[in-house]
Structure 1
Amino acid sequence: MANPVILSIDDDPAVSRAVARDLRRRYGDRYRVVRAASGADGLTALREIKLRGEQVAVLLADYRMPEMNGIDFLEAAMDLFPAARRVLLTAYADTDAAIDAINLVDLDHYLLKPWHPPEEKLYPVVDTLLRAWAASPDATATEIRVVGHRWSAPSFKVRDFLARNLVPFRWLLADDPEGVRLLAAAGATEADLPLVVTGEGKALVAPTEAELAGLAGLTVVPAADFYDLVVVGGGPAGLGAAVYGASEGLRTVLVERRATGGQAGQSSRIENYLGFPDGVSGAQLTDRARRQALKFGAELLSTREVVGLAEAGSARLLRFGDGTEIAAHTVVLATGVSYRVLDAPGLAEFTGQGVFYGSTATEAPSCEAQDVYIVGGANSAGQAAVHFARYAARVHLLIRGADLTASMSRYLINQLDRIDNIVVHPHTVVAGGSGSGHLEQLTLCDTRSGETRTVDASWLFIFIGAEPRTEWLDGVLVRDRRGFVVTGPDLVTDGRRPAGWALSRDPYHLETSLPGVFAAGDVRAESVKRVASAVGEGAMAVSLVHRYLEAQ
């Protein structure tokens, strides 16, 4: 396979030659350095690189270029090589534009010109970006192709898994000419779908999530049997705990049953997270947090479901679904919550076939010029409505209440009001669904009058509150009546500590009824359901882990 590409673009010939010269001097033995004189030329070069099946590791673009500036180029380049790390070359006077670009195009870094000496100002930046690129799941693999049916739940599960794990792939319908060719080459039929074909030509028929994880270069087997800290769950709280645990010297492993990011990772835009005034997508935030955890030495395990927790002297044992176990001095539970199932006649059979729980970015382009229905009145539903409005003819937001003020942030309500093709339907619930092979119609009910009406609908996205996945902790930890894990002072009633508590002290603030086991984020009873608070609790849990270990 050809060496990965480092592409630099500057309309000033002298600067362009200097950049290329410095890059070749340091990286020419491992990377192919390509330079272009304009954004248009750069995109032409990227298209040729894409057709040859080569990879692009880093893009460096000058901000001030005629016709297409550096930010516009990087935004267009993301469509061709989304995993490439992005650097903006800028003068001191343009630093505000560079800072804005951090949010607009998920910029990784900006370099002030001149960057001499390169050993101090250029190479350390590029070294860091190349390491991050090489650590990404898709860095050395060519494009993955997925062949399936439009309204197939198994096909949707494969695409959703790859998308959530930030693995680029190309989606092909089974009756597309290329889809037909791939089926024939793999010796498969439409009955075998979905089919996944790697860049190296390996075909997987109806692969499991563990097989997909291996294909994507994700780790599925722990490197050790014993750790200082096991974090269960890869949402914001879990990633926060993994970053702080590993950065503070604890041997840390994070276990995620599906994909890092949790519900926040599915969000199309988070606009009230500190430090991102223009918002940040859940995928971008997840990718940065995952890379940060890996940088500090945390181990990330994918497609491993924890089904049991037990005390074994000073150790805490965690049992996986396949019967294997790992042990640790301490555990942070950050399993988050899952969306409740909408219990309406006819909907269950269409899950993944027009009925979806949460925001699924993979489906948005398929909703082009169609009507989309969203159930829910909280921020997650509002963010999804804004995202789908970019594609759909009309987005219908169905809520039980009279308006959104009681459940949604004001900034998001104002945003919805400004988008013409979003319609809010108050006092409205879904009473049923029907279709042949996929969702085709919805029955809507007015909760005030009881009147119903039927609408044509192929897309329903559901955000109706959440519940914790804590059944596996039954009899092990104290939970409230809704299943959330009780921690800290809430475990002490009238001066009495929880049953079985053997220590002479009260539980720490985030500590559960089993000493050394902590809960953070949405799974914890009475937690604040916000991304920032989840990250904060993950960090706070690690400080309490240190206190616990020091007392042992």
Structure 2
Amino acid sequence: MTKPTILSVDDDPEVLASIFRDLRSRYGRDYRVMRASSGAQALEVLAELALRARPVALIATDQRMPGMSGTEMLTQARRHAPDAKFVLLTAYADKDAAIQAINDVGLDYYLLKPWDPPADRLYPVIDDLLGDWRQAHPQDTGELRVVGHRWSKRSHEVKTFLTRNHVLYQWLEIDRDDEARRLSELADAGPEDLPLVLVPDREPLRAPSNLDLASALGLRTRAEQPLYDLCIVGGGPAGLAAAVYGASEGLRTVVIEREAPGGQAGQSASIQNYLGFPKGLSGADLAHRAAAQAERFGVEMLLARDVVGLETRGPVRAVRFDDSGDLEARAVVVASGVSYRRLEGPGLEELAGQGVYYGSSASEASQCQDDDVYVVGGANSAGQAALNFASHAKRVVMVVRGTALEDTMSMYLVAQIAATDNIEVRLRSSVVAARGAGHLSSITLCTQGAPPEEVATNWLFVYIGASPRTDWLGSSVVRDPRGFVLTGPDLLAASATTPWPLARAPYALETSVPGVFAAGDVRLDSMKRVASAVGEGAMAIHLVHRYLATA
């Protein structure tokens, strides 16, 4: 791959020479570092790079330049370098312009001058941005190949598992790709064997389960110890926060995640209201960072394992796996999260995974290029998805049961949706049926006060309701009628039916089983926000320490 370009722009010769020197000394081995002395010259350089198909990774520009400001240049630069990271170099007096540029031009970061010493004030920022760019632009798609059918439910599940676990792969569609058919014939694979996953130096995997796939890829699926201080069930924001705080404070910690780190939040295309990230970040990026941080502290992350039971065994708690194995720990944090509620109506269940999808990863938007996409739901997850799909689809239609988006969605998302020309919002509406032979071809919409309407589409993404993943807890852990876990004060209020067994009161996040705590969306009346889930995960560790000190 041609070296990606880093472009520095400043009209002050001394400042330009300084930033060019700093960038080249740090990144010159892996990047082509260039410079321009004006906004106009920078646009000429970028146009030439675009003509030569040379990738641009990052543009660092001064704000105050004669003739064309930095933000004006970046606005035009997006045409030539649509995926580049943007950094604005600015004086304190221009801070307002820099903050406005986050929304106007997609600014990734602004640095106040001077940035000396660069090792402390420049390189950490640039390292982080270039790392994100590299992750989104791998030099190749990896040696792993997946042969399958576009509308196969299991093919979709395999691709989702690989994407969410940051495993690079090449997708070969059996109906459209000669190479896919050739590989299928070589492997003597029939329709029941698809998707066919070809891992280098291994026998082909035929319609593998997530556990088989994880094992073949060398992902950790088995516990290394017989007993842990802390077992966390669920690797979403609450679970990952608990893992980071637990392991960093000396607890032998294991996380069990049935799919991939990040949970439901990991599928979000853009979380823009999370503290400390002015431009926002994707759920996949947040999950990747958090998982790496947890593993740095020694957390064991078991993937593709489904927990089906919880037992009390004297002073320890045990979780049982679906393959009859188990794992013991002195304390457990339940952070298994929620799943999207299923739509009911003719054809909807039959076409699940074949055009009807519950949630989505950010990368799926590119598959909907120039198509009509329907998004069901009116909360933040639906709004984030609609905006992501709108960058690729011809039209995105949001189907919302309520009377106003403002009732259930953050205002920053409402404003962005209103400003996006190819997003249409249909209020007081619902999807009641789906049709298709082998894959979705149309859905039936019902809007209050109007007759049912059948519309053609291959894509329906659902983000409604919250069904907690708590069936595995059994009868010993008290839950409300919808399945959400009762903790602390709520648990005491329900003590008439299930008495609390200890003399002390339950801790704030403790369930009806002492030593078993709940954090995040799975808990009754939680806020259903990433930041609150992270806070509860951290808080749970404080309570785990109190429990272990007296157990």
Query: Shorter chain as normaliser: what TM range?
Result: 0.7 to 0.9
Q: 120-129 vs 479-488, which deviates more?
A: 120-129
Q: 1:155 to 1:496 in 2, by over 3 A?
A: closer
1:486 alignment counterpart: 486
Contact 1:16 1:35 in 2 (8 A): no
2:196 alignment counterpart: 195
Q: 1:455 to 1:102 in 2, by over 3 A?
A: closer
Contact 1:60 1:89 in 2 (8 A): no
The one-letter code of the counterpart of 2:428 is H
1:523 alignment counterpart: 522
Q: Distance in 1 between matches of 2:495 and 2:191?
A: 65
Secondary structure in structure 2 of the residue aligned to 1:405 = helix
Contact 1:13 1:37 in 2 (8 A): no
Q: 425-434 vs 314-323, which deviates more?
A: 425-434
After superposition, what is the alpha-carbon deviation per residue over 1:225-249, rounded to whole angstroms, capped at 9, x for unaligned? 1111111001111111111111111
2:386 alignment counterpart: 385
Gapped runs of 5+ residues in structure 1?
Answer: 25-31, 51-58, 80-85
2:230 alignment counterpart: 229
Gapped runs of 5+ residues in structure 2?
Answer: 10-15, 36-44, 63-69
Q: 1:248 to 1:135 in 2, by over 3 A?
A: farther
Contact 1:115 1:122 in 2 (8 A): yes
**Residue 509 (structure 1) shift:** 0.4
Q: 1:181 to 1:240 in 2, by over 3 A?
A: same
After superposition, what is the alpha-carbon deviation per residue over 1:153-196, rounded to whole angstroms, capped at 9, x for unaligned? 11111111111222232322123133234334544455532122
1:259 alignment counterpart: 260
Q: 1:346 to 1:526 in 2, by over 3 A?
A: same
1:82 alignment counterpart: none
Aligned ranges 1:408-487 → 2 under 5 Å: 408-449=409-450, 451-487=451-487
1:549 alignment counterpart: 548
The one-letter code of the counterpart of 1:539 is A
The one-letter code of the counterpart of 2:460 is L
Q: 1:96 to 1:306 in 2, by over 3 A?
A: farther
**Residue 214 (structure 1) shift:** 3.2
The one-letter code of the counterpart of 2:421 is D
**Residue 534 (structure 1) shift:** 0.8
Secondary structure in structure 2 of the residue aligned to 1:444 = strand
1:154 alignment counterpart: 154
Q: 240-249 vs 200-209, which deviates more?
A: 200-209
Contact 1:160 1:362 in 2 (8 A): no
**Residue 96 (structure 1) shift:** 10
**Residue 430 (structure 1) shift:** 1.5
Q: Distance in 1 between matches of 2:123 and 2:218?
A: 27
2:251 alignment counterpart: 250
The one-letter code of the counterpart of 1:519 is A
Calculate the TM-score normalised by the size of structure 1: 0.80
Secondary structure in structure 2 of the residue aligned to 1:328 = strand
Is 1:320 matched up with 2:321? yes
Q: 1:459 to 1:483 in 2, by over 3 A?
A: same
**Residue 439 (structure 1) shift:** 0.8
Contact 2:88 2:109 in 1 (8 A): no
2:305 alignment counterpart: 304
Q: Distance in 2 between matches of 1:8 and 1:414?
A: 33
Contact 2:23 2:33 in 1 (8 A): no
1:401 alignment counterpart: 402
1:291 alignment counterpart: 292
Contact 1:497 1:506 in 2 (8 A): no
Number of equivalent positions: 525
Q: 1:315 to 1:201 in 2, by over 3 A?
A: closer
Q: Distance in 1 between matches of 2:403 and 2:131?
A: 51
2:164 alignment counterpart: 164
Q: Distance in 2 between matches of 1:108 and 1:171?
A: 34
2:270 alignment counterpart: 269
Aligned ranges 1:13-162 → 2 under 5 Å: 37=34, 142-162=142-162
After superposition, what is the alpha-carbon deviation per residue over 1:261-284, rounded to whole angstroms, capped at 9, x for unaligned? 111111111122222222211111
2:41 alignment counterpart: none
Q: Distance in 2 between matches of 1:498 and 1:358?
A: 35
Contact 2:487 2:508 in 1 (8 A): yes
Secondary structure in structure 1 of the residue aligned to 2:285 = helix
Secondary structure in structure 1 of the residue aligned to 2:407 = coil
Secondary structure in structure 1 of the residue aligned to 2:298 = coil
Contact 1:241 1:539 in 2 (8 A): yes
Q: Distance in 2 between matches of 1:221 and 1:134?
A: 31
Secondary structure in structure 2 of the residue aligned to 1:483 = coil
Secondary structure in structure 2 of the residue aligned to 1:492 = helix
After superposition, what is the alpha-carbon deviation per residue over 1:420-469, rounded to whole angstroms, capped at 9, x for unaligned? 211111222222111111111112223445x2121112111112201112
Q: 1:60 to 1:214 in 2, by over 3 A?
A: farther
Q: 1:376 to 1:114 in 2, by over 3 A?
A: closer
Q: Distance in 2 between matches of 1:149 and 1:398?
A: 28
Contact 2:265 2:283 in 1 (8 A): yes
Contact 1:213 1:220 in 2 (8 A): yes
Contact 2:90 2:111 in 1 (8 A): no
Is 1:540 matched up with 2:539? yes
Q: 1:297 to 1:41 in 2, by over 3 A?
A: farther
Q: 1:141 to 1:423 in 2, by over 3 A?
A: closer
Q: 340-349 vs 102-111, which deviates more?
A: 102-111
Q: 1:7 to 1:116 in 2, by over 3 A?
A: farther
